[in-house]
Amino acid sequence: MGEKVVLAYSGGLDTSVAVRWLADKGYEVVALTVDLGLDREREEVQGRALAAGAVKFVWRDVKESFLRDYAFKALKAGALYQGHYPLATALSRPLIAKCLVEVAQEEGATAVAHGCTGKGNDQVRFDVSVQALAPHLRIVAPVREWDMDREAELRYAQEKGIPVPLSQGSPYSVDANLWGRSIECGPLEDPWQEPPEEVFLWTAPPSRWAREPIYVEITFHQGVPVALDGKEMGPVELVRRLNELGGEQGVGRIDMVEDRLVGIKTREVYEAPAAVILLTAHEALEQLTLSREQRRFKQRIAQEYAELVYYGLWFTRHRQDLDAYIASTQRFVTGTVRMKLFQGQAVVVGRKSPHSLYDFSLATYEAGDKFDHRASPGFIHIWGLPARVQAQAQGREE
């Protein structure tokens, strides 16, 4: 009997060919499909894996954990890579790696495998996560090792009788989970070319936007979304619903050029209605409930967190330390945000919290103003002191 390997199996061409390629190398291949909330047909994926030559198929439904333990942590952090990307693909990799390691243990496998190429971020995220969780496991990355382009892969599949998925006609590479869809390749490789409408599956084009805006109220408890329009919901239902509502109004399309960890600039298009709506709403609630200093410092942590996730460093003490800080900041981030979804935008139009720091009697310019205007000159006198001293000693500012 050969060595056992657990392969992260998506059902696409690369991983289907990888099943057979590994089997030809003498491995017994266990195909693992991780369900991150896409409505994929389990039977169909399983059939494809077995037809390609896997000895066993394992299906793991982790969509709830994906949102609770990964995506919502990034939400609480306010993480957007390079200011735009909500990290759907990047967040899924450590969880898939964790599943690979668990199944490897259950199956007595000595190796795990994934279908990443040698020039992307995902190979780094998988490899580093597996190394952190189970350093004794060997990692095989067939696509990184074999020298086949798409044509050669298709020939290989034909020769070996591997069923080719329907999506094979598409020039795009797509990765998707509940937190968002990532699309690259084909015409998108020209950063000057507008994304063809066909790349978008979740978000409506302007011609199909509803004429009336959609309003939705999102309630957070300590930074975590728990209800829509007053109705309590688990994470999967809540995110699904926001993807639908946002999608109807074209919310959550992102078109960017980003810097990969391996040094390549890449053009990627994303659809992430729920993530964009939730990140926007969550930040609005922090505007209300965090102090100026907390907000300023937390913004730096948000950037650190986004980079850490993007760079594949999920299973590190550094992430745990940042999570501890972020959790502490979220103690009073409880309340409700009203969002207006309209014509591609998710706009905050209302916010309230039992822990709000907004004080009407301090803010108002109308009757009832409690702010002591006469105390201001004294405050300004002290505040401006260093500037005056410096001007005196070193000359006035031009």
Tell me the number of residues near ligand ARG by CB under 6 A: 10
| Residues 315-334 close enough to bind ligand ARG by CB under 6 A | none
Burial class (CB in 10 A: 0-12, 13-18, 19+), 8: buried
What is the chain's length? 398
Smaller CB separation from ligand ARG, 274 or 285: 274
The one catalytic residue among 48, 122, 181, 253: 122
Count other C-beta atoms under 10 Å from residue 344's C-beta: 16
| 93 catalytic per annotation | yes
- 14 tagged catalytic: yes
Per CB under 6 A, which of residues 162..191 are in contact with ligand ARG?
173-175, 182-184
Which of 65, 170, 173, 356 does the annotation list as catalytic?
Answer: 173
For the question of residue 92 being annotated catalytic, the response is: no
- 260 assigned to active site: no
User: What's the token pair of residue 157?
Assistant: 């599949």
| Measured distance CA(272)–CA(79) in Å, rounded | 14
Q: How many Å apart are CA 210 and CA 228, to the nearest integer?
A: 20
Q: Which of 134, 195, 140 is nearest to 6 (CA)?
A: 140
Specify the residue, 33 or 330, whose C-beta has the smaller distance to ligand ARG.
Answer: 33
Binding mask 210-249 for ligand ARG (x = CB under 6 A): ----------------------------------------
Residue from 15, 33, 121, 330 touching ligand ARG (CB under 6 A): that is 121
How near is the Cβ of 220 to ligand ARG at its closest, in Å?
A: 26
Nearer to ligand ARG, 266 or 289 (CB): 266
For 130-172, where are the E strands, in sequence order? 138-140
Cα–Cα distance measured from residue 300 to residue 325, given in angstroms and rounded to the nearest whole number: 12
Q: Of the listed 20, 48, 60, 93, which one is catalytic? A: 93
Work out the angle at residue 311's Cα, subtended by the Cα atoms of residues 306 and 317, and round it to the nearest 5 degrees.
80
Q: What is the nearest approach in angstroms of ligand ARG to the Cβ of residue 218?
A: 25
The residue (of 262 and 363) whose beta carbon lies closer to ligand ARG is 262
What does the per-residue mask of binding to ligand ARG show for 126-165, with x meaning CB under 6 A?
Answer: ----------------------------------------
Burial of 129 (0-12, 13-18, 19+ CB in 10 A): buried
Closest of 92, 91, 78, 72 to residue 301, by C-alpha: 78
Among 13, 90, 140, 341, binds ligand ARG (CB under 6 A): 90
Q: State the pairing for strand pair 4-8/56-61.
A: unpaired
Q: Which residues are catalytic?
A: 14, 93, 122, 173
Q: Which residues bind ligand ARG (CB under 6 A)?
A: 89-90, 121, 173-175, 182-184, 268
